[in-house]
Amino acid sequence: MNANGRAIAALAAAAVLSLAACSSTASTASTASTGTSSDSTSKPKVTLVTGGQSLDFYITMACGAQAAAKQYNVDLTVQGPALYSLPQSLQVLNGVIQTHPQGVLLVPVDPTGLNAAVSTLVASKTPVVTVDGQLSKKLDIANLRSDNIAGGKAAADELGKAIGGKGTVAIEALAPTAVYNAQRVEGFQKEMAAKFPDAKLLDIQYDSGDKNKAAQNMSGVLQAHPDLVGIFGAQQTAGEGAVSAVAAAGLTSQVKIASYDADPSQVQGLRDGAYVALVAQAPYYEGYQGTKLLGELIRGTTKAADVKYQQFTPVVAVTKANVDDPKVTPYLYVSKCA
Q: Look at residue 319 and tell me if it is in a domain.
A: no
Given 217, 247, 275, which residue is the final one in a domain? Answer: 275
> Strands 310-313 and 142-146: what pairing?
parallel
Q: Are 50 and 129 contained in the same domain?
A: yes
3-state secondary structure at position 23: coil
Q: Are 26 and 109 contained in the same domain?
A: yes
> How many Å apart are CA 130 and CA 141, to the nearest integer?
8
Q: Are 239 and 268 contained in the same domain?
A: yes
Contact predicate 237/54, CB 8 Å = no
Containing domain of residue 70, as a range? 3-146+281-314
Q: Look at residue 14 and tell me if it is in a domain.
A: yes
Q: Are 263 and 202 contained in the same domain?
A: yes
Count: domains in the chain: 2
> Which residues neighbour 155 within 8 Å (Cβ) at sequence distance 6 or greater?
184, 187, 188, 232, 258, 259, 260, 277, 279, 317
The count of other CB atoms within 10 Å of the CB of residue 40 is: 15
Q: Look at residue 240 and tell me if it is in a domain.
A: yes
Q: Look at residue 322 and tell me if it is in a domain.
A: no
Phi, psi of 260 (to 5 degrees): -75, 155
**Per residue of the chain (338 residues), what is the pLDDT tens digit?**
444 444 444 554 444 433 333 333 222 222 332 233 444 448 999 999 999 988 899 999 999 999 999 999 999 999 999 988 899 999 999 999 999 999 999 999 988 999 999 999 999 999 999 999 899 999 999 999 999 999 999 999 999 999 999 999 999 999 887 888 999 999 999 999 999 999 999 999 999 889 999 999 999 999 999 999 999 999 999 999 999 999 999 999 999 999 999 999 999 999 999 999 999 999 999 999 999 999 999 999 999 999 999 999 999 999 999 999 999 998 999 999 98
Q: Look at residue 325 and tell me if it is in a domain.
A: no
CA atoms within 13 A on the CB side of 88: 14
3-state secondary structure at position 148: helix
Q: What pTM was estimated for this model as a whole? A: 0.79
Q: Are 258 and 290 contained in the same domain?
A: no
Q: Look at residue 176 and tell me if it is in a domain.
A: yes
Q: Are 177 and 189 contained in the same domain?
A: yes
Q: Are 268 and 155 contained in the same domain?
A: yes
Q: Are 164 and 44 contained in the same domain?
A: no
- For residue 17, give the CATH number of its domain: 3.40.50.2300
> How many Å apart are CA 32 and CA 13, to the nearest integer?
8
Q: Are 44 and 139 contained in the same domain?
A: yes
Q: Are 263 and 306 contained in the same domain?
A: no
Residues β-bridged to residue 259: 233, 278
Q: Are 45 and 99 contained in the same domain?
A: yes
Q: Are 269 and 308 contained in the same domain?
A: no
Q: Look at residue 327 and tell me if it is in a domain.
A: no
